[in-house]
């Protein structure tokens, strides 16, 4: 059976053909997916993966696409966006919040606050999905996913559902075992501590105010572009190199926070990548510091 018939094979699942991923990324850039599917539950995700394996279609999984650059050539094979899998439950007795991969991380922190559970305040303004946050071991303001995640449910590339312990997740700085084994995050359970709702909310509000004051939230961006190099601050290195405000095509090093690149005028993913490479080259020349990208870069280069 031809992969053309994907929507026929799965009539209950929303599947789009040649869909521009610029419609879904926070940068508003990115080429087309051959097939873009929106599974609504674990069984649909499992079925799509099994079919793709049978047809030898490459599979790419995307969450909220907030810390992601999709190249202008797009992505071959099957892309799954899991944001329709967004259930979140709280267990006040065991002080846990369990969230499906497609749930907004911000929403998970709000559920924690509503159940008087503390420890998730640092994530109150992170725009990613739970799955993406687990994949990246997302962090901010001194906290990260590995501080609170106690188990993660994944779908392996072979189609097996497994529950991984904190140790098995092998969390590191912006790293998890999911990246190494190409698992698909299905859900995660976070263990928190009892607190007071007003105090939790106050901390969330304070951190969100700090974020809004420092970060260019009013413009499309891919979030923090570079990992923090040992002994340095990325934004400071870029500022001192005279690169803040530099425009490349429609992309610009943010004038509000030099660690961000914003889309100011119909930027392409190629604009973003060219600007990233230029920044890396300049910072290496001036400081002998290699700026490693934190943003995930996927897809194919455009055809010449």
- 11: pLDDT strictly greater than 80: yes
Query: Angle 126-131-137 (CA atoms, 0-180°, nearest 5)?
Result: 65
Choose, from 66, 146, 221, 224, the residue flagged as catalytic: 224
Overall fold of domain 88-214: 3.30.465
Choose, from 19, 174, 176, 254, the residue flagged as catalytic: 174
Confidence of residue 303 (pLDDT cuts 50, 70, 90): confident
Choose, from 44, 144, 153, 294, the residue flagged as catalytic: 294
- 293: pLDDT strictly greater than 60: yes
What is the predicted pLDDT for the residue at 153? 98
Pairing of β 184-191 and β 96-100: antiparallel
* Nearest CA among 110, 115, 122 for reference residue 148: 122
Output phi, psi for 272, to 5 deg. -60, -50
- Tell me how far apart the alpha carbons of residues 52 and 154 are, in angstroms, rounded to a whole number: 17
What is the pTM for the complete model shown? 0.94
- 1: pLDDT strictly greater than 60: no
139 is written with which tokens? 């962090």
Judge whether 294 counts as a catalytic residue: yes
pLDDT digits (tens, 9 = 90+) for 157-169: 999 999 999 999 9
**Do 40 and 274 meet the contact criterion of CB atoms below 8 Å apart?**
no
Residue 205: count of CB within 10 angstroms of its CB: 13
* Domain limits, the chain: 3-81, 88-214, 234-298
Q: Any alpha helices (H) in the chain, and if so which ranges?
A: 6-9, 42-55, 105-114, 130-136, 145-148, 166-169, 177-181, 197-214, 234-240, 269-287
Q: What is the CATH number of domain 3-81?
A: 3.30.43.10
Overall fold of domain 234-298: 3.90.78
Judge whether 174 counts as a catalytic residue: yes
| Terminal-residue alpha carbon distance, the chain | 31
**Pseudo-torsion of CA 246, 249, 251, 257, nearest 10°?**
0
Q: Stretch 209-230: mean pLDDT, rounded?
A: 95
pLDDT digits (tens, 9 = 90+) for 42-52: 999 999 999 99
What is the predicted pLDDT for the residue at 2? 47
* Nearest CA among 233, 228, 225 for reference residue 252: 225
pLDDT digits (tens, 9 = 90+) for 182-201: 999 999 999 999 999 999 99
What is the predicted pLDDT for the residue at 5? 78
What is the predicted pLDDT for the residue at 304? 60
- 27: pLDDT strictly greater than 60: yes
């Amino acid at each position: 059976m031809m992969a053309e018939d994907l929507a026929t094979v799965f009539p209950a699942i929303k599947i789009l053909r040649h869909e521009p991923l610029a419609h879904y990324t926070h940068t508003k850039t990115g080429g087309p997916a051959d097939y873009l599917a929106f599974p609504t539950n674990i069984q649909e995700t499992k079925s799509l993966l099994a079919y793709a394996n049978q047809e030898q279609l490459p599979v790419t999984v995307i969450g909220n696409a907030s810390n992601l650059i999709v190249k202008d050539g797009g992505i071959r094979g099957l892309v799954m966006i899991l944001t329709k899998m967004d259930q979140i439950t709280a267990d006040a007795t065991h002080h846990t919040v369990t969230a499906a991969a497609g749930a907004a991380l911000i929403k998970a922190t709000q559920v924690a606050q509503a159940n008087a559970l503390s420890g998730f305040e640092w994530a109150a303004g992170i725009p990613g999905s739970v799955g993406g946050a687990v994949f990246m071991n997302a962090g901010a303001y001194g906290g990260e996913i590995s501080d609170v995640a106690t188990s993660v449910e994944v779908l392996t590339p072979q189609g097996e559902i497994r529950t991984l312990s904190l140790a098995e997740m092998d969390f590191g700085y912006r790293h998890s075992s999911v990246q190494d084994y190409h698992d698909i995050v299905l859900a995660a359970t976070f263990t928190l501590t009892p607190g007071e709702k007003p105090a939790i909310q106050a901390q969330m509000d304070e951190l969100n105010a700090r974020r809004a004051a420092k970060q260019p939230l009013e413009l499309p961006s891919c979030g923090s572009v570079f990992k923090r190099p040992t002994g340095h601050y990325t934004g400071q290195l870029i500022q001192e190199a005279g690169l803040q405000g530099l425009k490349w095509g429609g992309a610009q090093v943010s004038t509000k926070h030099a660690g961000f690149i914003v889309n100011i005028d119909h930027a392409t993913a190629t604009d973003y990548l060219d600007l990233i490479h230029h920044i890396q080259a300049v910072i290496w020349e001036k400081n002998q510091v290699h700026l490693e990208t934190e943003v995930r870069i996927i897809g194919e280069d455009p055809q010449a």
